[in-house]
Chains A and B, each alone.
Chain A
Amino acid sequence: MTEPTADPDPAEQTTEPGPSVSVDLSPRDLPGAAKRRSLRNWCIVGALSLVLAGILYQALTSARVFFYNVDEAIARRDELGSQTFRIQGTVVDEPADIGGAMVFTIAFNDETAVVRHVGDEPSDLFEVGIPVVAEGHWEGEAFESRQLLVKHSESYVEDNPDRLVPDK
């Protein structure tokens, strides 16, 4: 691909036959519509900067420590107190319905925590052996969860009816 040719110097274009005339080539004032368009464009850049600042705030708060693993959350139990945070671990037993709460145990690095979840049902992927992220706070020895997120692994296995699968 060829480069576009540079414009000739505009000053050279005045070398036409005739008397030499001084031409004022300074920019004219922008008409009203162009000024409004310019202001609008700067406003858009300003709004985008605010949006970016908001996302960066989320990055520095929520995303930086998205969750604590069970062992970390237990080690920090006193420090975390009753503040809201997320805890991650693998579901180790079938959930039980106790007093309207979904109660189950999660484990990570040989540490376990009991989760009492009251809130929306987790996704259909929820099952024993799958890692979950619960959002809530410590309530004594148990973790009171308001939101339960299910992690899925990097593995993708075809649901093939002819495939031999090991017993669970």
Chain B
Amino acid sequence: MSPPTSTGPAATPTGSKLTRVLGSLSLAFLAIFLLFGLMLSPPEVSQREAVRLFYIHVPSAVIALYLAFGLTAVGSVVYLRKRSTFWDLLAWSAAEIGVLFCAFTLVTGMLWGRPTWGVFWKWDPRLTSTAISFVLFIGYLAVRQLDLTPEARSSRAAVLGIIGFLNTIVVRFSVSWWQSLHQGTTLNPVDTQMDGLHLLSFFLGFATLALVFSWLLVHRFRVAWLAHQAGEAGLDRALAERRAEATGRTV
């Protein structure tokens, strides 16, 4: 992944060979996933058709909480240590897509909860801690829009990004630290409690959503990079205009 090198954002598409490959792979995996997820995998003995929500709910949760918010935390730590614009923008981009996946997790969880538990929502430890993550990262995105200096904005957002990711640990262990309505871990490396086609459909769902995440991340990062470049150019232009006003010359 390399930053765009154009002279202006309007002339630069955010697509690249990498994004075209990622986009094509996403579509191909999506087609295979839909085939297995909706048609070839059988219903579950007790949950019946509701089991299909597992194939998207769990992968989107893993991608949002671990991959996206983890990337935000890493980017935030590196930004605070090195003041690197690259890592700052990567953290921001990952957080934005992570919020999207986290919302998807909450919605699919609610849709799954109704036919299994009997309710869409309960203030259960796993649900509550996930909702806290969601709100913390919406807060992260809100901080990025505040009228502060770019450095202050990035620093405050970075601190919030790190705190937000620490909450992922709470989400992970919430079902064992407290009594929970939410089920425990299914995908145990030692003893996976899932039959063949269910497991295959889950991995296809995970691969599909991971590809979509990567594809969106590259695009979002490039947009953020171009916006940053445009902002820098705009500042230079504004400074030049102020100087011209002071000296009575035109730019």
Instruction: Considering the complex, give the chain B residue whose CB is closest to the CB of A19.
Output: B247
Interface size on B, residues (CB 8 A): 66
Q: State the CA gap A55–B242 with chains docked (Å).
A: 48
A65 pairs with B116, CB closer than 8 A: no
Binds B, one of A74-82, A96-104, A136-144, A146-154: A146-154
A125 pairs with B46, CB closer than 8 A: yes
A48 pairs with B45, CB closer than 8 A: no
B44 pairs with A159, CB closer than 8 A: yes
Encode contact with A along B135-150: 1 for CB under 8 Å, 0 otherwise: 1101100110111000
A3 pairs with B43, CB closer than 8 A: no
> Closest approach, in angstroms, between the C-beta of B157 and any C-beta of chain A?
11
A156 pairs with B194, CB closer than 8 A: yes
Interface size classification for chain A = 35 or more
Other 20 A-B pairs with CB < 8 A, given A127-B46, A147-B119: A3-B84, A3-B86, A7-B232, A13-B240, A21-B247, A25-B239, A51-B135, A52-B132, A58-B128, A64-B178, A65-B178, A67-B179, A122-B118, A125-B46, A147-B118, A150-B116, A151-B117, A151-B183, A153-B183, A155-B186
Q: Which chain B residues border A58 with CB–CB below 8 Å?
A: 123, 128
Q: Which chain A residues border B225 with CB–CB below 8 Å?
A: 4
A59 pairs with B128, CB closer than 8 A: yes
Q: Does B26 contact A (CB under 8 A)?
A: no
Q: Does B109 contact A (CB under 8 A)?
A: no
Q: Does A1 contact B (CB under 8 A)?
A: yes
Residue positions of A touching B, CB distance < 8 A: 1-4, 7, 10, 13-14, 18, 21-25, 30, 34, 37-38, 41-42, 44-45, 48-49, 51-52, 55-56, 58-59, 61-69, 88, 120, 122-125, 127, 130, 133, 147-160
